[in-house]
Amino acid sequence: MIRTRLAAVLAAAFLALLPTTARAADYPDPLPLTGQEIIHDPTVTHLKNGQYVAYSTGGIIGARLSTDMKHWDDAGNAFATPPSWWYEYNSTGDPWAPDLSFRDGRYWLYYAVSSWGTNHSAIGVATSKSGMPGTWTDQGKVFTSDTTDTWNAIDPGVIKADGRLWMAFGSYWTGIRMVELNPKTGKAVPGATVRHLATRPDAPYAVEGPYIVKHGHHYYLFASYDGCCAGVNSTYKIRVGRSTSITGPYVDSAGTPMLEGGGDLLLAGHGKYFGTGGQSVFRDKGQDWLAYHYYDGDDNGTPKLGLNKLSWSHDGWPTVK
């Protein structure tokens, strides 16, 4: 036992002496960006007008615009003022973790309102013909949770599958959940079953921020594991599992269910890039991209936009480049 502990100590000491680039070798750096890079929980889309937009936690759903996906400008907020019902969930009308999609001739912006450390939460939705900041009309609540529930209605991720509309969501509590939405209203089907997609084996069940995409014959569930929002002390990382059914079960490449703590590690902190997470996926000109935030170790842990190409292995698993 003493020799085992000594070996572990020596191994840790050796790793600590390695240069940062050696420890970071398994993960690629994000695309170099300029302009306004500060962001948290980004959702990115190439709009019909040719511009790229990134919405995020912060402000009244903060917005960034780009013409080339490399230089980003501050574009204000999705809303001029918070809808009044947001104040039911926090005193500042502060929204979190938006999700942007296009369906039936208009853009749909889902988002969450809550208070830190509670599951008295709600997911709302707004619509816009252009998707541009300042053009959104709020449509109200989509789905809610309260302190008597075993899930947390934040971090929405919406996907259309087999002619039906679904929303994955969840943060801590019992992990990642899913409900069916009415495609006409964009809101939860009344009495919809709350399905369970992923969790951790022990409290505090640190998994959140689900995002689901389809590739080939599988649906892929991306989620953020461990601790967010602590600058360079953040331990966020992105894991992924897949299923042939939108409702699961999702498993990793070893066959471990995500309901039992499974999930292949896709991207973790490395070099100056701490706490990679809050992810979403978007497709542009035939290329899939992973969008996320990281905390910049060279800039006092400021949260910034990370963009990496998302590729797929011969056996259908995602990799970042």
Tokens of 30: 């994000």
Q: Which of 94, 138, 208, 296 is catalytic?
A: 208
Tokens of 24: 């970071």
Q: Give the residue from 252, 266, 236, 282 showing the smallest Cα distance to 100.
A: 282
- C-alpha 106/C-alpha 48 separation (Å) is 10
260 is catalytic: no
Distances (CA, A) of 41 to 55, 230, 286, 295: 8, 14, 23, 12
180 is catalytic: no
Q: Which of 37, 41, 94, 138 is catalytic?
A: 41
Sheet arrangement for strand 264-268 = 207-215, 218-225, 237-243, 264-268
For residue 62, what is the enclosing H or E element? Answer: strand 62-66
Query: Do 155 and 174 form a contact (C-beta atoms < 8 A)?
Result: no
Report the DSSP beta bridge partners of residue 177.
169, 196
Instruction: Catalogue the active-site residues.
Output: 41, 208
